[in-house]
Amino acid sequence: MPRPFNFSAGPAALPEAVLQQAAAEMLDWHDASGRSSGMGVMEMSHRGKEFISIAEAAERDLRELLAVPSNFHILFMQGGGLAENAIVPMNLAGPDAGGAVDVVITGAWSQKSAAEARRYADVRVAASNEADPGTGPCTTLPSPTGWALRRNARYVHICSNETIHGVEFHELPDLSALGSDAPLVVDASSHILSRPIDWARVGLVFAGAQKNIGPAGVTIVIVRDDLLDRALPYCPSAFNYKNVAAAQSMFNTPPTYGIYIAGLVFQWIKAQGGVAEMERRAVARASMFYEAVDGSGGFYVNRVAKDARSRMNIPFFMADERLYNDFLSGAKAAGLLQLKGHKSVGGLRASIYNAMPLDGVRALVGYMKDFQRRHG
C-alpha cells in the first residue's frame, strides 16, 4: 500500500528515500567509501571524525543549494523559530540596550517576533496587514514603499512566508532602495529551499527545520559575518552567534541526529535538481491547488490576495462550518492526512512543502471535488 499523503504544517512529511536511508543506517552508519562505523549516528560523539564529516557535508550542501556567499556563516542551532525570535535580538539589537528594531507584520509569526523582540529592544511596527479590509486580517503584503523605517534601526525583521496565514513574500525587499542601511532579518522557516535567496538584500536568514527540511529541534541560521559582534551582555553563550560560528556549530553538543537528517534532505534536493527544480515543483503544486479552490464556485475559499499567496501553506475555508469534521475524516480515510487548519484561524490548511509530490496535490484536489459534489 502506498504511504498516505501528509499535509502537516510541521513537523512535516519527509522524502520517503530519506526515511529509508535513515532506517537502514540506524544501527551502523557507513561513510562515503562504504566503511562501517560500528555506531548509529545518534551514538556518535559530535567531536569524532564520523559526525564531523556528516555535519560538514550538510553545511557544504546547504551552502551550494542556496548559493550562500562566503561572508555568511551557516549555523545549526536549537530552539526553533520561537526561541530564535529572542535569540536574534539578543545577538543583533546590542551591544547596548534600547536599540531600535523595525518589524513588518504580515501574520501570526511576525506578530510573535515583534512581541518577543520587545523584551530586548525598542520595537516599532514598520507596517502591518492586521487591519486588511474586506478579505480579513493578514491577507495582503504591505508595499515596501510604505514601510516606516527608522534610520537608526539595528535590523528590520520580516517573515517571508507566514505558515499560519499563508502569506508569502515573492521578492525580498531592497532596504537600501528604501533609504535604510539596516540589515534585513528574514524568518524563512516555512519556505526555505523552495526558492533562491537574494543574499545582497539579507543580513540574516533563520529557519526552524521542521517544515521544509525535516526534523524538529534544528534551527538553521545563516548570518553575515559583520553581524557577529553585536550581542547583548545577557545573550547566553550557547546562543551567541559568534561562539557558534567560531566552533562550526560545535560550541556545545548540537542536535546531531537532526543535522544528519537535514543533510540527507539536502542530498535528496541536490539529486532532484536543486532549488530551481524545487521552485518549479512548488509553482506546479500551488497552481494546481489554487486553481481548484478558485474554480470551486465559492465552495472552497482562500482569502489571501493573489500576489501574496503562499506556495507552501494554504489555509482554506468552507461556508458551512459543520462540514469540516466530515471533510477531515473522509480525507483521512482517503490517505490525506493532517489537513486541519491552525486553531487561531480555523478551517483547513494544506501545507505542500518540497517533500510533497504533485500526485499528493492531485489526490487532494480530486478528493475536494468529490466532497463538493456530495455536499455542495
> For residues 76 and 289, which CB has a smaller minimum distance to a second copy in the complex?
76
> For residues 216 and 301, which CB has a smaller minimum distance to a second copy in the complex?
216
Q: How far is the CB of 216 from a second copy (least distance, A)?
A: 5
> For residues 226 and 229, which CB has a smaller minimum distance to a second copy in the complex?
229
Q: Which position has the grid cell 499560519?
A: 164
Specify the 3-state DSSP secondary structure of 240: coil
Q: How far is the CB of 243 from a second copy (least distance, A)?
A: 10
Q: Which position has the grid cell 464556485?
A: 297
d(CA 313, CA 191): 9
| 211 belongs to the catalytic site | yes
> For residues 144 and 347, which CB has a smaller minimum distance to a second copy in the complex?
347
Residue 79 cell numbers, joined: 530552539
Per annotation, catalytic residue among 61, 102, 211, 268: 211
d(CA 147, CA 376): 42
**Cβ proximity of 7 and 19 under 8 Å:** no
Per annotation, catalytic residue among 29, 109, 147, 268: 109
Q: How far is the CB of 356 from a second copy (least distance, A)?
A: 11
> For residues 67 and 115, which CB has a smaller minimum distance to a second copy in the complex?
115
DSSP state of 26: S
Contacts of 267 (CB under 8 A, 6+ apart): 57, 61
Binding site for a second copy (CB under 8 A): 3-4, 6, 8-14, 16, 19-20, 22-24, 26-28, 38-40, 42-46, 48, 78-83, 85-87, 90, 116, 119-120, 208, 210, 214-218, 233-234, 236-239, 251-258, 261, 335, 337-338
Q: How far is the CB of 18 from a second copy (least distance, A)?
A: 9
Residue 103 cell numbers, joined: 518589524
Q: How far is the CB of 344 from a second copy (least distance, A)?
A: 12
Specify the 3-state DSSP secondary structure of 219: strand
**Cβ proximity of 268 and 15 under 8 Å:** yes
Q: How far is the CB of 212 from a second copy (least distance, A)?
A: 13
d(CA 179, CA 201): 13
> For residues 179 and 233, which CB has a smaller minimum distance to a second copy in the complex?
233
Backbone angles phi, psi at 220, to 5 degrees: -95, 130
DSSP state of 309: B
Query: Which residue, 142, 194, 349, is CA-closest to 207?
Result: 194
Q: How far is the CB of 35 from a second copy (least distance, A)?
A: 12
| 109 belongs to the catalytic site | yes
Any idea what the Cα angle at residue 272 is, between residues 268 and 275, rounded to 5°? Answer: 90
Per annotation, catalytic residue among 102, 132, 187, 340: 187
Q: How far is the CB of 236 from a second copy (least distance, A)?
A: 3
C-alpha torsion 35→38→40→43, nearest 10: -130
Radius of gyration of the chain (CA): 21
Give the number of C-alpha atoms closer than 13 A to the C-alpha of residue 181, restricted to the C-beta side: 1
> For residues 24 and 148, which CB has a smaller minimum distance to a second copy in the complex?
24
> For residues 10 and 347, which CB has a smaller minimum distance to a second copy in the complex?
10
List alpha helices for the chain, DSSP H. Answer: 16-24, 49-66, 80-92, 108-117, 241-246, 256-272, 274-294, 324-333, 358-375
Q: Is the peptide bond before 95 cis (omega within 30 degrees of 0)?
A: yes
Q: Which residues are catalytic?
A: 109, 187, 211
